[in-house]
Amino acid sequence: MENVSEAAEELVGTLAGTEEADAQTGEGSKMTLEERKARMEQLRQKMRTSALANRKSLIEESTKAKVTARDAARLERQRKLAEVLRQKADAEDRGEDVERQKNWEWTIEENDEWEKKKARKARRADFEFNNDADAARRRYKKDLDLIKPDLDAYNRQKELALGLAPGALAKSGNSSSPLNSFDPGAGSSLQVLPTSEQQRLAAEYLYRDANSLLYADNKPSEEAIDRVISKINQDIDKKSKFSRKRHNEDEGDITYINERNRVFNKKIARYYDKYTAEIRASFERGTAL
């Protein structure tokens, strides 16, 4: 629309300038009728071109807005399939093996991780529902895959509980090596200065048993809270996508075969339900004549 307005302003300015020039220069310098017609036709052509360009842009924006996420995913799958077919055709022309060429893109570690994932998925697929406990255990196993333990915080707690120097477990890279060589009575350089009472409390905090009276004294970090919230939101989003509930279940019985038939039945019910309600109720009760 900006091009149309600019063309209109240019037309008005041209006409105004022409009238002013005519008034100043007199009859001798006036444009002829043919020149005025040519100038007017030129401006009208420019306005028509601008209007067509604006309409084309509007249609393109409307078409893009109609493309849903499902259509975009379908087009992306088609694009990937076309790319795979093109690579396969090129490899056959060169006399190469497509699968072998694709396997070169993966490392040994990535391949081992992929094999473990496939084996784990196969084990979980061979599952029969028995009771709620089995379903809860299966869900728990899936949630364990998303848990990433904070080993640094755990090592710091263990260092304080065992009397090791700060960073001893982290520097060693293996928590078993300093623990095996730790001797409380040997006065090792790994020991720290805190008193035995502090060490005892730290050990009691870390290694709790059934006789421990400590309860609800652990305050999670902001990162841990964010992970829990993100996991809950992910479960809610997944449940909303894969739920078997239909949007029209609240309307009652299904009396249509497609969306068009549903709209038609709704229009019919709007005008005739007040006359046919008693007849339909009689049919449902089995008392219709």
The model carries a pTM of: 0.37
Separation of alpha carbons 156 and 166, rounded Å: 7
Q: What is the pLDDT of residue 129?
A: 62
Output phi, psi for 164, to 5 deg: -90, 160
The pLDDT of residue 125 is above 50: yes
Do 80 and 61 reside in the same domain of the chain?
Answer: no
d(CA 285, CA 225): 56
Q: Answer whether residue 122 is part of any domain.
A: no
Give the burial string for 257-285 (b: 16+ CB within 10 Å, else e): eeeeeeeeeeeeeeeeeeeeeeeeeeeee
Q: Does 141 fall in a domain?
A: no
Higher-pLDDT residue of 114, 9: 114
CA-wise closest residue to 205 among 195, 194, 216, 192: 216
Q: Could you read off the pLDDT of 48-76 as tens digits, one per residue?
A: 888 888 888 888 887 777 766 677 788 88
- Alpha carbons 161 and 200: distance in angstroms, whole number: 7
**Nearest in space to 276 (alpha carbons), one of 265, 264, 260:** 265
Whether residues 182 and 207 share a domain: the answer is yes
Q: How many domains does the chain have?
A: 4
**Cβ pair 54, 15 in contact under 8 A:** no
Q: How many CB atoms lie within 10 A of CB 155?
A: 19
Q: Name the DSSP letter for residue 131.
A: S
Looking at the structure, do residues 159 and 200 belong to the same domain, yes or no?
yes
Domain-embedded: residue 227: no
Give residue 22's region: left, alpha or beta (phi > 0; psi -120 to 50).
Answer: alpha
159-179 burial, b for 16+ CB within 10 Å, e for fewer? bbbbbbeeebbeebeebeebe
What share of the chain has pLDDT > 70, as a percent?
A: 74
Residue 213 lies in a domain: yes
Better-scored residue on pLDDT, 212 or 114: 114
Q: Are residues 7 and 56 in the same domain?
A: yes
By residue range, what is the domain housing residue 77? 71-103
Lowest average pLDDT, out of 38-47, 143-152, 174-183, goes to 174-183
> What whole-number distance in Å separates Cα of residue 204 and Cα of residue 217?
12
Residue 126 pLDDT: 62
Give the mean pLDDT of 117-146: 78
Same domain, residue pair 45 and 91: no
Give the largest Cα separation in the chain, rounded: 120
